[in-house]
Amino acid sequence: MRSQLNDADACAVDQAWRIAVRRTGAQVTAVTMGPAGAAAALRKSLVLGADEGVHILDDALAGCDALGTARVLAAAVRRLGFDLVLCGAAATGSATAVVPAMVAEILGVPVLCFADGLKLTGDGVEIRRDDGAGVQTWAATLPAVVSVTPRCGTPRYPRFAAVAQARHKLVRTWPLSRLGIRRSEVGLAAAVTRVRAVTPVEDRGRVVIDCDAPTAAARLADFLAQRELL
Amino acid sequence: MIVRMVLGLLMTAVAFALAGRRVMTLYRLGRSGQPVEPDRLRDVPKRAWAVVTEVLGQSKLLKWSVPGIAHFAVFWGFIILGATIVEGYGALFVRDFGLPLIGDHAWLGFLEDLFIVAVLSGLVVFAILRLRQDPQREGRRSRFFGSHLGAAWLVLFMIFNVMWTLLLYRSAQINTGNFPFPRGAFASEAVALALAPAGRTANDVLEHVGILGSLGAVLAFLVILVYSKHLHIALAPFNVAFSRRPRGLGALLPVHSGGKPVDFEDPGEDDKIGRGVIEDFTWKGMLDFATCTECGRCQSQCPAWHTEKPLNPKLLIMSLRDHALAKAPYLLAGSDEERAKLPKDVLAEAERPLVGAVEAGGVIDPDVLWSCVTCGACVEQCPVDIEHVDHIVDMRRYQVLIESSFPSEAGAMLRNLERAGDPWGRGAKARLEWMAGLPFEVPVLNGEPIPGDVEYLLWVGCAGALDDRAKKTTRAVAELLHTAGVSFMVLGSQERCTGDPARRIGQELLFQELGKQNVETLNAAGARRIVVTCAHCFNAIRNEYPQLGGVYEVVHHTQLLSKLVAEGKLVPTHPVEETVTYHDPCYLGRHNRVFSPPREILGSVPGLRFNEMPRNSETSFCCGAGGARMWMEESIGTRINETRTDEALATGAEVVTAACPYCIVMLTDGVATRKQQGKAGEDVRVTDVSQMLLQSVRGPGDGDGSA
Amino acid sequence: METVLVLAERHGAGGGVCRPTHALLTLARRLGTPAAVLCGPADTASIEALGRFGAQAIWTVEASEVDDYPATARVEALVRLADQICPSCILVASGRGGEEIAARVAARLDSGVLTGAVDMWMGPDGPVVVQRVLDGSYLVESSVVRGITICTVFTEAVSPQPSAAEPAVRSLDLAFPQGMQAARLVSREPRGRPDPTAAAVVVAGGRGLGSRDGFELVERIAGALGGAACGSHTAAELGWCPRHQTVDQIGKAVHPLLYLALGVSGSVRHRAGMHGAQTVVAIDRDPEAPIFGVADLGVVGDVHEVAKELLTEIRRRRHGERLEWEA
């Protein structure tokens, strides 16, 4: 199973490249934690502009929960050294949406989540984020972690030269031992959350209302308000 | 005699020197291109036969009757009258020289005179054609729009000169008694009668003047020839010999650099991908440009040109030719110092980007490059086998892969292909949706090889699985096969896009990836016979997958259904009292020569009245979706699909049929627009040919009979 | 009984406590003794509302950091309280702010976090959380095995039930540790009309709107929501919207948080342009329209009528009520 680089992650790599391309000596490292198939997503990051990749690969990591994942990624990032960590922001409510904030907390640096726009300022980084009725601007000093939405810029279509060069870029594979994390601290056995039961849903939560206009409108507005869209 | 011999030989020497120098330059210019693909040097018998039929037989020219016959006459005139040139040179030394053995045979004299008359008649026809198609008056509609008219008239004038000086010389020869043919040369004899009263001395003079004039005209013509498009008379046989066989249609060739295919997994450092500068073209490409006669037959068929877009295949080739000639001193210079000493305009020419806007000095404007639908009408028409489509795609390859410069809206299609394996990004799982609600089970392969008793693998394709209209075609075909008792299976979610849109837009790397994946799947499944419902899938799997190691017996659904009707396994019993017309999809018809099966199917449906569109079969007018243009915006000029829709509606058809999902989408949109404008009846519909057959086989009822 | 901490949210900076908080308290009551954390001014109305839904204790945080460093302030408050009162659960409403807070608290407390809960109950070994995963196709029951159960809740799935209580109100002192760097909320502006590809809200109109005049509804609703107005390919073909404002395979590809489709049938080429949308809402007359296959919420009915009512409703709600970090 070859993994794909999702839209948000692609935007994150692209933003990183845009920052690095304007600064001499800036380096972009793409980090992923996952089974062997995750290397494909890493290669795609290299095509989109990352200079090198790190693949954390260890079978002890199977079944890792969000906190475990965050610990591993934080350890890797700390080992690499960083000024800025960029992540793709997963949709709210999904299991991995919490990882960027956790990584930041473990590293003890500020986090700026769900950035729709990003720019570096004199002393740090500033992001733009939509909150339902307006646009918030948040700022933090570096080092920091920023998670980026698919609305944050459009990654350019890579040239063949980028594809060819990416094949020669270095991808390091790190087992857990390289990060100083013990097997007992991660993986399914060490997970803080456990799944007890799984039931398929008949009607997949796709609600279709068929009633009079004012009622429908009220339900629509409720729906939007709940999701901070109104 | 001495005088005329000396003069004659002197003229010859000068002419040959001038012409020779030019030929040398052109030859070296051609060689500055890349080496050709190996296949062009193989299969000599087929190539020789092509030269026989297309050059000697003038087969492509004769497709247009009047200009074709005229050209046939002039072409054969040049061949036969070569004898008179030999006779002329001989006469410089021996006054009444005749060819050995046959030099005084009446039939030879007759033949020569016959062709003098034929050529002169041909010239009259050509002149009339040029006057009637005068671009000054007709504008873009004239196929001579953009051609060098002055040069063309000069050529006609020179041919005329060659003819009348020859006639003058021969008739004077008759009157001076030096004519080698006692009988047969009727035209010369007639002119001789007219000249006879002038007396012996006068005719003597006329004879000397005539021979020098005649040879002089030929030599002058020779020099003019090598500086004009008329060089085609020397180049065309070579161009035809080295062209793709059977024709430059169907498959596109893989990317080659230095005469070898480029391995995208491990490309060489100096590998040239596509065409970024004029010298990136192979010498065959250079030969193509040089052979162009500016006849405009390609332009007269181009759907882009017909809809006010800037793309004109003839002007494209001419631009490339002119650019190559202008850049020649730069390309042929031996060193940097030599280059630095070249005149400014040559250096400026060398700086021009091959593809770029007019303001940037580009040779080919991007709008020209991206307007092409790769329908191949130009290649079909070209009498000298120029491969316009190949050159356009090669330039696209450079733009996409090296510059990453292409219409941005197509990026969505490319990203979706990479991500999800289909142009809309729906993903593999969605490929099973079309089967919902079918009254029978469609067996889906899942990792196992195809059982031996299954006759066909039905390749559904992306449109057939994911586009709402095309799904109806797939269901109709599945039902017809089921009814006919033909056992088939589908690959289901293992299918990926064949890669056709990626290849046509120039993203060869993506095409190779998708193609190799599909070939692996097909080979693992042990597929032998594949039936497809999409003309583009048909072309890709049948003609292009062999390049990737996938060789299968591929039939289009119309071919299979037609066969089943002929075998009596499908019986269209219920009459369908409607008027239909059929649109030949470019990738089924012109590219792959499948014209009759869809018509046979329509013919088998009782009650159906069939009206052919004026532009059908080989000259079918594209729907506008090819060349990956389905995935691009059409913002210049008028709509290709609307133009074709109007042609279909003009036949009075109530049902417009086609045999490709791209065509059906484009024609449906066209009909919808015309309905909205009140220019089409409310009950006009667009369907696939198979749906008409299904309607007749199954009978009336809730059908998937309408789009 | 164990304490369950609830992070209270309010409408706007000084507004009253809002529905998501009522829902959280309702859930909290099932799991233990609810205690609420209220950031910002401790006004009577909010305290009363919290009490109405069962909060037994209310901790108020009135430091200035609450407005300047909203996320970090709440994280610190929750962590401080967690150390102090050792709750069994911490509940936060799901949303961009909520996910971040819950994540950071979980990391600090080395506890499990479960996101997007639609239901919770008390099991034999502790709280059981029900989540909807994989685009709503599965319901997963999970529990936290170590530390505090930290949960973000899809409060719209929970009906608030009042249960009056007399809360004890205490104030919590909050001071950031020395040298701590945190993300600062610099400013907040109302949305201008964004570019569709960068917009968080996209409103699109299709053939179902009937006419160019009908299409104006799209622009009005987009204006009301501060989103981008677009059309389907058909709408552009009919001349109702400019070609560069279409959501389509060959038009714009959008990734909004909300995609509102009015009278759009949802052909495959249209879906190719909007499949990046997080939440899809569709209104159309035809119940068989393909758009309903991808909509999270669909309304079958007359597009004009429903859309007009929606516009009224949006304007009505916009006129006062805001969530907490909206200034």
Q: Per-residue DSSP letters for B526-563?
A: T--EEEES-HHHHHIIIIIGGGGT---EEEEHHHHHHH
List pLDDT tens digits, range B446-481. Answer: 888 999 999 999 999 999 999 999 999 999 999 999
Q: What's the token pair of residue B97?
A: 């020289």
Residue spans in chain C of domains classed CATH 3.40.50.620: 3-171
As beta bridge partners, residue B261 has B256
Residues 6+ apart with CB under 8 A from C314: A221, A224, A230, C221, C224, C225
Q: Which residues of C are less than 8 Å from A208 in CB distance?
A: 287, 292, 295, 297-300
> Which chain A residue is nearest to residue B407, measuring alpha carbons?
A157
The residue with tokens 């631009």 is B319
Does residue A84 contact residue A27 with C-beta atoms inside 8 Å?
A: no
For residue C96, the model assigns a pLDDT of 85
Tell whether C269 lies on the interface with B, counting CB pairs under 8 A.
yes
Shortest alpha-carbon distance between residue A160 and chain C (Å): 23
Question: C3-171: which CATH topology?
Answer: Rossmann fold (3.40.50)
Instruction: Summarize the confidence of residues A55-77 as an average pLDDT.
Output: 92
Whole-number pLDDT of residue C66: 87
Instruction: Measure CB to CB from residue A157 to each of B264, B267, B404 and give the nearest one.
Output: B404
Side by side, which strands form the sheet with B685-688?
B609-610, B579-582, B655-658, B685-688
Q: Which one of C138, C298, C322 has the shortest CB-CB distance to A198?
A: C138
Q: What is the pLDDT of residues C165-200, one digit of tens each?
A: 899 999 998 888 777 789 999 998 887 778 898 888
Q: CB A209 to CB C299 under 8 A?
A: yes
* Cβ <8 Å between B412 and C275: no
Does the pLDDT value for residue C324 go beyond 50?
Answer: no
What residues of B are in contact with residue C212 (Cβ under 8 Å)? Answer: none
What is the rounded average pLDDT of the residues C205-209?
A: 93
Residue by residue, DSSP assigns B398-450 as: IIIIIS--S-TTHHHHHHHHHHHSSTT---GGGGGGGGTT-SSPPPB--SSPP
Q: Is C249 close to B413, i.e. CB distance below 8 A?
A: yes
pLDDT-derived band at C320 (thresholds 50, 70, 90) equals low
Chain A neighbors of B411, CB-CB under 8 A: 157
Instruction: With a cut of 70, say whether residue A150 has pLDDT above it.
Output: yes
**What is the three-state SS of chain C?**
CCEEEEECCECCCCCCECHHHHHHHHHHHHHCEEEEEEECCCCHHHHHHHHHCCCCEEEEECCCHHHHCHHHHHHHHHHHHHHHHCCCEEEEECCHHHHHHHHHHHHHHCCEEEEEEEEEEEECCEEEEEEEECCCCEEEEEEECCCCEEEEECHHHCCCCCCCCCCEEEECCCCCCCCCCCCEEEEEEECCCCCHHHCCEEEEECHHHCCHHHHHHHHHHHHHHCCEEEECHHHHHCCCCCHHHEECCCCECCCCCEEEEECCCCCHHHHHHHCCCCEEEEEECCCCCHHHHCCCEEEECCHHHHHHHHHHHHHHHHCCCCCCCCC
Taking an 8 Å cut-off on Cβ atoms, the answer to whether B423 and C275 are in contact is no
Q: Which residues in chain A (138-157) have CB-CB distances under 8 A to chain B?
A: 156-157
Please report which confidence band the pLDDT of residue C53 belongs to, taking 50, 70 and 90 as the band edges: very high
Hunting for tokens 């040398």 — which residue is that? B24
CA dist B8 and B13 (Å) reads: 9
**Which residues of chain B have a CB within 8 Å of the CB of C137?**
none
- Whether chain A has a CB inside 8 Å of the CB on B403: the answer is yes
Cis check: omega of the bond before B246, within 30 degrees of 0:
yes
Which three-class secondary structure state does DSSP give residue A198? strand
* Cα separations in angstroms, C157 against A222, C132, C283: 11, 11, 22
pTM of the prediction? 0.92
Neighbouring chains of C at 3+ CB pairs within 8 Å? A, B
pLDDT in tens, A32-46: 999 998 999 999 999
Q: Which residue has the higher pLDDT, C325 or C112?
A: C112
pLDDT for the residue A52: 96
> In this structure, which amino acid lies at residue C155?
T
Q: What mean pLDDT comes out for the span B565-592? A: 96
Quick check: A149 and A114 in contact, CB under 8 A? yes
> In this model, does residue C326 exceed pLDDT 70?
no
In angstroms, the CA C134 to CA B429 distance is 14
- The mean per-residue pLDDT over the stretch A117-129 comes to 92
CB C66 within 8 A of CB C73: yes
Q: Quick check: B409 and C272 CB within 8 A?
A: no
**CB-CB under 8 Å, B673 with C243:** no
Residues in chain C: 327
Q: What homologous superfamily does CATH list for C196-326?
A: TPP-binding domain (3.40.50.1220)
Question: How many contacts does A have with C, using Cβ atoms within 8 A?
Answer: 281
Q: State the CB neighbour count (10 A cutoff) for residue B243.
A: 26
Q: Which of A4, A156, A161 sits opposite B402 (nearest CB)?
A: A161
- Count of alpha carbons within 13 Å of B69, Cβ hemisphere only? 6
pLDDT at residue C322 is higher than 60: no
C286 and B CB contact within 8 Å: no
Chain A: nearest CA to B380, how far in angstroms?
32
Q: Is B46 on the interface with A (CB under 8 A)?
A: no
Q: Is the per-residue pLDDT at C327 higher than 70? A: no
Q: Which of the two residues, C200 and B666, has the higher pLDDT score?
A: B666
Q: What is the pLDDT of residues B389-399, one digit of tens each?
A: 999 999 999 99
User: pLDDT tens across B529-558, in order?
Assistant: 999 999 999 999 999 999 999 999 999 999
A168 touches chain B (CB under 8 A): no
Token pair of C188 as six digits: 């907040």
Angstrom CA distances, B260 to B40, B271, B502, B513, stand at 12, 9, 21, 19
Give the per-residue pLDDT at B43. 92
Note the pLDDT of residue B701.
66
Give the best residue of A15, A65, A67, A71 to mutate against chain C (max C CB count within 10 A). A67
> Chain B contacts of C253, Cβ < 8 Å?
412
Taking CB atoms and an 8 Å limit, are A230 and C318 in contact across chains? yes
C268, B413: Cβ pair inside 8 Å?
no
Chain B residues inside the 8 Å CB shell of C243: 633, 635
Residues 245-284 of B with CB under 8 A from A: 264, 267, 273
Average predicted confidence (pLDDT) for chain B: 94
Chains interfacing with A (3 or more CB pairs < 8 Å)? B, C
Rounded to whole angstroms, how far apart are CA atoms C300 and C227? 23
List where CATH 3.40.50.1220 sits in chain C: 196-326
Question: Taking a C-beta distance cutoff of 8 angstroms, is the pair C303, C264 a contact?
Answer: no
Nearest to C6 by CA among C15, C96, C22, C173: C22
Confidence of residue C323 (pLDDT cuts 50, 70, 90): very low
Query: What average pLDDT score do residues B82-96 get?
Result: 90
> CA of B335, closest CA in chain C: separation in Å?
48
- Angstrom distance (rounded) from CA A31 to CA B70: 72
pLDDT, tens digit, 9 for 90 and up, residues C122-135: 988 889 999 988 76
Contacts of A10 in chain C (CB under 8 A): none
Q: Which of A1, A6, A157, A165 should we substitute to test contact with B (largest number of B Cβ atoms within 10 Å)?
A: A157
Q: Is B466's Cβ below 8 Å from some Cβ in C?
A: yes
What pLDDT sits at residue B707?
40
Query: Which residues in chain A are contacts of C226 at CB distance < 8 A?
Result: 133-134
pLDDT digits (tens, 9 = 90+) for B236-266: 999 999 999 999 999 999 999 999 999 998 8
**Cα→Cα distances A179→A182, B596, B677, C121, Å:** 9, 69, 69, 38
At residue A219, what are phi and psi to the nearest 5 degrees? -65, -40
CA distances from C79 to A194, B351, C84 (A): 23, 67, 9
Q: Which chains touch B (3 or more CB pairs under 8 A)?
A: A, C
Q: Is B424's CB within 8 Å of C271's CB? A: yes
Residue of C nearest to B407 (CA): C250
Residue A122's pLDDT band (boundaries 50, 70, 90)? confident
**SS3 of A124, please?**
strand
Query: Which residue in the set A140, A198, A205 is minimally distant from C184, CB to CB?
Result: A140
Which residue is it, tokens 């400019």? C242
Q: In one letter, which amino acid is B77?
A: G
